[in-house]
């Protein structure tokens, strides 16, 4: 067996081990060596791009991709020794783009993060295995967790404890964290840099919400914390839409990506706020609120953020999906990155 084959075999075994036994086992400052970039998230379970998506990367000079590797969630089997499990691991069905830095990204649920001491080392090993098999040499790893004051210590301890494990695989690795708007008023996580998530700003389960993806008024509430936030920040802006569905009592049912024809007035009755009453034979009526974000809203939010933070912040778009991207013109996309 050659050295290369042996290395791939070891990496594959490590990845398998991460699936079976996943839970058995400083504040950053601006760095002159970190160059400005244009970024994009890829948040699907299969990595595959078409020609239009590859063209999008080239045309817009995108040189950094945050690639979701997998999620970490609490194990629903309470009798299992494994308190947490990796789920929705990405499948590589395409070659990665040349000249684009790949940032392995892992989403950790609030229920899982409290068990961080059970999975931290294996998580680092699993990231390495996926990188090794797919010839990815990361200089940054990102963690995404919607931590609150009650889970903050667990998340911060996790970030401190996983750094040595990651550094044992990737020399000089940088760690970044997503930052939600409500987290701006909390202590800064012990990472090298952050990405401010300027999406999912509202409560999508509330029938009265106007637009849960992005509302300027939601962002304005937290802008006062930007100026003195001590972590280098990039801004992530949304390029996606969805349907929020409620039952006849206006109780939240689900999020969906169904393509509804709201112009069909026989089936859809407009009730305001981009919300429709859907009447379909033989089924209970439901309410559907269609949410998307206009280019004007994205531009306004970007301007607002830079007004309070400065004009040198990197822009990352969420996410690389042709069905969503094509809703915006090339000029609008180019303007988002400026």
CATH number, position 95: 3.20.20.80
User: Are 54 and 95 in a shared domain?
Assistant: yes
Phi, psi of 197 (to 5 degrees): -80, 105
Which of 275, 290, 305 is the endpoint of a domain? 290
Residue 1 pLDDT: 46
User: Are 198 and 277 in a shared domain?
Assistant: no
Residue 123 pLDDT: 96
Contact at 8 Å (CB) between 209 and 272?
no
User: Are 285 and 184 in a shared domain?
Assistant: no
| Burial classification of residue 305, based on how many CB atoms lie within 10 Å of its CB (0-12 exposed, 13-18 middle, 19 or more buried) | buried
Contact at 8 Å (CB) between 269 and 276?
yes
User: Are 72 and 133 in a shared domain?
Assistant: yes
List C-alpha distances in Å: 226 to 229, 318, 329. Answer: 5, 21, 30
User: Are 130 and 276 in a shared domain?
Assistant: no
| Residues of the chain where predicted confidence (pLDDT) is lower than 50 | 1-21, 23-30, 32-33
User: Are 304 and 265 in a shared domain?
Assistant: no
- CA torsion sign for 173, 19, 155, 176 is positive
Q: Which has the closest alpha carbon to 249: 205, 287, 278, 276?
A: 287
Cis peptide before 178 (omega within 30 of 0): no
Residue 22 pLDDT: 56
Task: Give every CB contact of residue 87 below 8 A, 6+ residues apart in sequence.
Answer: 70, 71, 72, 73
User: Are 110 and 253 in a shared domain?
Assistant: no
Contact at 8 Å (CB) between 41 and 316?
yes
Phi, psi of 223 (to 5 degrees): -60, -30
- Per-residue b or e along 65-98, where b marks 16 or more CB atoms closer than 10 Å to that residue's CB: bbbbbbbbbbbeeeeeebbbbbbeebeeeeeebe
User: Are 224 and 247 in a shared domain?
Assistant: no
Residue 34 pLDDT: 55
The domain containing residue 255 runs over which residues? 242-290
User: Are 181 and 307 in a shared domain?
Assistant: yes
Contact at 8 Å (CB) between 36 and 132?
no
Residue 273 pLDDT: 82
Rg over alpha carbons for the chain, rounded to the nearest Å, is 21
Q: Which has the closest alpha carbon to 215: 193, 238, 248, 196?
A: 238
List C-alpha distances in Å: 142 to 46, 210, 307, 311. Answer: 19, 31, 26, 23
CA dihedral 335, 99, 232, 196 (to 10 degrees): 60
User: Are 132 and 261 in a shared domain?
Assistant: no
Residue 26 pLDDT: 36
The domain tally of the chain equals: 2
User: Are 162 and 32 in a shared domain?
Assistant: yes
User: Are 196 and 271 in a shared domain?
Assistant: no
């Amino acid at each position: 067996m050659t050295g290369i084959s042996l290395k791939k075999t070891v990496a594959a075994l490590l990845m398998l081990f991460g699936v079976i036994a996943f839970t058995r086992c400083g504040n950053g400052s601006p760095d002159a060596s970190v160059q400005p970039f244009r970024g994009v998230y890829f948040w699907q379970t299969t990595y595959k791009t078409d020609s239009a998506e590859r063209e999008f990367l080239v045309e817009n000079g995108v040189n950094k991709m945050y690639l979701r590797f997998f999620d970490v969630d609490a194990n629903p089997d309470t009798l299992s020794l494994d308190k947490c499990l990796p789920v929705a691991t990405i499948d590589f069905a395409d070659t990665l783009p040349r000249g684009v830095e790949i940032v392995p990204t892992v989403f950790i649920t609030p229920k899982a993060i409290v068990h961080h001491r059970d999975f931290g080392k294996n998580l680092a090993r699993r990231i390495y295995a996926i990188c090794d098999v797919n010839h990815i040499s990361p200089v940054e790893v990102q963690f995404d967790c919607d931590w609150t004051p009650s889970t903050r210590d667990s998340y911060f301890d996790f970030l401190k404890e996983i750094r040595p494990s990651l550094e044992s695989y990737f020399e000089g690795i940088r760690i970044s964290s997503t930052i939600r708007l409500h987290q701006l008023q909390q202590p800064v996580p012990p990472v090298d840099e952050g990405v401010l998530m300027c999406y999912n700003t509202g409560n999508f389960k509330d029938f009265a919400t106007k637009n849960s993806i992005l509302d300027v008024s939601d962002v304005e509430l937290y802008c006062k914390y930007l100026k003195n936030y001590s972590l280098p920040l990039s801004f992530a802006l949304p390029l996606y839409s969805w349907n929020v569905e409620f039952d006849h009592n206006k109780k939240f049912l689900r999020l969906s990506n169904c393509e509804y024809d709201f112009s069909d007035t026989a089936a859809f009755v407009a009730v305001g706020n981009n919300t429709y009453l859907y009447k379909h034979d033989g089924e209970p009526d439901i309410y559907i609120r269609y949410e998307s974000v206009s280019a004007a809203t994205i531009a306004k939010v970007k301007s607002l953020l830079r007004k309070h933070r400065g004009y040198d912040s990197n822009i990352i778009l969420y996410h690389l999906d042709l069905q969503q991207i094509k809703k915006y013109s090339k000029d609008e996309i180019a303007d988002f990155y400026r």
